[in-house]
Structure 1
């Protein structure tokens, strides 16, 4: 199969690079891969294309340069503050979890807030040693969303995930490596190469077996996610509409 390239909504590139492997690249440089309208629509379009292609065995998800994904935009957060929107309306964040085939997340660049959470829904994760990762929701004064309270402890371990969500601090990949996170952390320039090697190892397996195995391994997350979202939205009703939250959003984005 020759390489096929599609640019979805101008900022997400879909590439079928070899038998069974698709690369989905987030390239919204104007917004540093925040959850812009075009990025969300592009990701939904690309994962829909994966779903409809019975030849695909593996998805490799990545960003550009120093950015993997940066979370919600100022406009989105302010709309949640005023009640025009809630986090669950951004209903794309579990695309990697819902994808039938395995997803490898090449988090070569910074993963901030919802961007970190988005990457953590992948089945296999590679992070950059120099890059910054943060569950920074509380920095703005509101509690985490997008299923963060489920997926971060699952992927990073309970103690570290709780510390990250409560403190909202930035952590370099090298520090997370020292703290014992259970997946590869390598120099940023090597992340994509390592992720591609892992994708090729997966693509060597029968597609039916990969789908069956992923379904089995992720069933507990898919079962628990709806209730987690309901509980997170309850917390948002308590925490998101404080005047201090609006001030923090304006200040931190300003």
Structure 2
């Protein structure tokens, strides 16, 4: 087993499986530095012939709670276009990824979970494209990645309402590929990745490239629109109310302006 670490990530390689752990607990909020580090890590693992599959996991309570709308975190939204540019690099990586999704995969955290080939969840997992509940537009390529996975109508419902989807329901509609006990999420994801790694690696990479052909380009086009709409909606009263309500843990009172 080999192990490396960075400010935001740790990487452990055992056999042909690399476990990449987001290390900004408890919520693993998105940042440009985190996504850039993740993209760099994927590039390095792609170049390692011994690594045949990746488990994307997270330390702490949540897989990724999206953007930090509290304190100084809100200012980081100004770099959304830069963050999405780095996110596209994640979709361009060649090695298969299984996401071990514990706790919340919320907002951009859902987008990060959707960048993986497969998702393992538990009863305590929650998925949500909660952007409209903040007066905001979905980002991280969700408008391109969610509809093919769960269907256009289901994706529209999830994005329009912003409602949270528990792990069992996510498994029913195909958003989660495996549902296991919460305590077994990472081990099950690692076993899933090991099954992939046991197949012929050149063939797996070729099949993946065929199945995901054009995906990075679609995400690039989607995030360009998403970032533009986010910048526009960020100037509205509804967005300010949504963020205030989120911080105060109360229902938002949107006025459509």
Contact 1:94 1:118 in 2 (8 A): no
Aligned equivalent of 1:16 = 13
Report the count of equivalent residues: 245
CA RMSD of aligned residues (A): 2.2
Q: Deviations over 1:106-142 (max 9, x none)?
A: 1122111100110111112112222211111111101
**Do the aligned residues in 2 keep the contact of 1:78 with 1:249 (CA within 8 Å)?**
no
CA contact (8 A) 1:93 1:146 kept: yes
Structure 2 gap ranges (5+): 249-257
Q: How does 1:1-254 map to 2 (within 5 A)?
A: 3-9=1-7, 11-18=8-15, 20-29=16-25, 32-36=27-31, 38-74=33-69, 75-80=72-77, 85-90=78-83, 91-179=85-173, 181=175, 183-253=177-247
1:132–1:171 CA contact under 8 A, matched in 2: yes
Q: Which runs of 4+ in 1 moved over 6 A?
A: none
> Does the C-alpha gap of structure 1 residues 222 and 45 become closer, same or farther in structure 2, counting only changes over 3 Å?
closer
TM-superposed deviation, 1:13: 0.8
Contact preservation (8 Å) 1:144, 1:232:
yes
Task: Compute the displacement of 1:164 (Å).
Answer: 1.1
Aligned counterparts of 2:176 and 2:131: Cα–Cα separation in 1: 23
Task: Name 2:252's counterpart in structure 1.
Answer: none
* 1:109/1:92 CA distance change after superposition, 3 Å: farther
Gaps of 5+ in 1: none
- Asked if the contact 2:25/2:60 (under 8 Å) is kept, the reply is no
Relative to structure 2, which stretch is displaced further, 213-222 or 171-180?
171-180
The separation in 2 between residues aligned to 1:68 and 1:234, in whole angstroms, is: 26
Distance apart, 1:178 and its partner CA = 3.8
Q: TM-score, normalized by length of structure 2?
A: 0.86
Q: CA deviation at 1:146?
A: 1.4
When the two structures are superposed, what TM-score results if normalisation uses the length of structure 1? 0.87
What displacement does 1:92 show?
3.1
Deviations 1:15-54 (A, max 9, x none): 1111x21100112115x10014553343234223213323
Describe the superposition over 1:184-217 as per-residue Cα deviations: whole angstroms up to 9, x where unpaired: 2222122222211111111112222122111111
Deviation at 1:237, TM superposition (A): 4.2
